[in-house]
Amino acid sequence: NKQVILKDYVSGFPKESDMYVSRNGTMKLKVPEGSNGIVVKNLYLSCDPYMRSRMIKNKAITGNYYIDSFKPGSPILGLGVAKVLDSGNPNFKKGDLVWGRTGWEEYSLITDFQNMFKIQHTEVPMSYYTGILGMPGLTAYAGFYELCSPKKGENVFISTASGAVGQLVGQFAKLLGCYVVGSAGSKEKVNLLKNKFHFNEAFNYKEELDLDAALKRYFPEGIDIYFENVGGKMLDAVLLNMRAHGRIAACGMISQHNLDKPEGVHNLMHLIYKRIRIEGFFVFDYNHLYPKFLELVLPQIAEGKIVYVEDIAEGLESGPAALIRLFSGLNIGKQVVFITQE
């Protein structure tokens, strides 16, 4: 059983060499006697920014949830798409396709079914269940529709807009008839935002010396909704440009993940001046919306109204490099690791 192992806890920017691929793990492909677990063959693994917070010693805290740190010397854990090989659980049978929590390895024994979903729709690429039809998709849906109370014609700004979550938020907003602008970290990503996802405007934040001025250029009348993925300087600049009664969905702050000390945010008084509602959220609090989300998004994918860009690395060996691409912005679209077809 080939596995991606975390060498040791990580500080600062994660490196490929913080992980290694081991070929030594052995595993019986049968569920142990009396267990209600399932044995799966992992097909696709999802690279997600929150995994960085599991590489530190102390448990990462997410709201009321504690997400365990990875254990040095053990395989890292994440979300993935897998096929059931053996089951001791009445809800799953051999041959079922599932997505949810699994290990970064060829085969896993899964005993925690908290975030495990059976895949019912197989007419789409299976990798989509790591992205648009998986956790990032539900994040975009819950964050935009539940937290932002969006209305037609409103001005929407999305940071990290070409990523797994951002590209979908932007397309939801466009379909609703909003004016949508996204920021991203390269020319190629900006082109994608404008030409593939049909955002009204997009800009490369790395080329803007003054983010406040950039936002004023694209939003002369201000921002109604900010879908926050980066934090730091961008959040500070956005606060200056929000309109009265604006809403901010605090989804993630990836610019802060690798800093020893988080950057300060200076413009919080604007929350008061403009009566802004800012709300953080955690996607798995919205699992109950997953069927409703699929009902909305599957037909839109089938009709080509929503498109999705993935960045697929081949093979478990490419896992460590693929994961750290998220933090240098090398991924173009949803970063996935492909292990095997079935």
Burial zone of 80 (CB within 10 Å; 0-12 exposed, 13-18 middle, 19+ buried): buried
Among 14, 78, 163, 170, binds ligand NDP (CB under 6 A): 163
Total interface residues for ligand NDP by CB under 6 A:
29
- 201 contacts: CB under 8 Å, gap ≥ 6: 180, 181, 182, 194, 218
Closest CA to 283 of 62, 130, 58, 60: 62
Among 223, 235, 283, 337, binds ligand NDP (CB under 6 A): 283
Q: How many CB atoms lie within 10 A of CB 284?
A: 16
Region binding ligand NDP by CB under 6 A among candidate stretches 27-35, 90-98, 249-257, 316-324: 249-257
Look at residue 319 and give its three-state secondary structure: helix
Nearer to ligand NDP, 85 or 321 (CB): 321
Q: What gap in Å lies between CA 320 and CA 76, rounded to an integer?
A: 10
In this structure, what token pair is assigned to residue 213? 């001025």
Transcribe 222-265 into DSSP letters.
-EEEEEESS-HHHHHHHHHHEEEEEEEEE---GGGTT-SSPPP-
Closest CA to 254 of 117, 125, 159: 159
Q: If binding is defined by CB under 6 A, does position 297 make contact with ligand NDP? A: no
Name the minimum Å distance from CB 90 to ligand NDP. 30
Name the minimum Å distance from CB 239 to ligand NDP. 17
Q: What gap in Å lies between CA 189 and CA 70, rounded to an integer?
A: 31
Q: What percentage of the chain's residues is helix, strand, coil (to nearest 5)?
A: 30, 25, 40
Q: If binding is defined by CB under 6 A, does position 281 make contact with ligand NDP? A: yes
Q: If binding is defined by CB under 6 A, does position 37 make contact with ligand NDP? A: no
Q: What gap in Å lies between CA 193 and CA 180, rounded to an integer?
A: 10
Nearer to ligand NDP, 64 or 341 (CB): 64
Nearer to ligand NDP, 29 or 265 (CB): 265
Nearer to ligand NDP, 127 or 229 (CB): 229
Binding to ligand NDP (CB under 6 A): which residues in 98-127?
none
Q: If binding is defined by CB under 6 A, does position 134 make contact with ligand NDP? A: no
Binding to ligand NDP (CB under 6 A): which residues in 209-238?
229-230
Q: If binding is defined by CB under 6 A, does position 190 make contact with ligand NDP? A: no
Q: If binding is defined by CB under 6 A, does position 137 make contact with ligand NDP? A: no
Q: If binding is defined by CB under 6 A, does position 42 make contact with ligand NDP? A: no
Q: If binding is defined by CB under 6 A, does position 51 make contact with ligand NDP? A: no
Q: If binding is defined by CB under 6 A, does position 76 make contact with ligand NDP? A: no
Name the minimum Å distance from CB 242 to ligand NDP. 19
Applying CB under 6 A, the residues found at the interface with ligand NDP are 48-50, 136, 139, 160, 163-166, 184-186, 189, 229-230, 251-255, 281-283, 326-327, 329, 331, 334
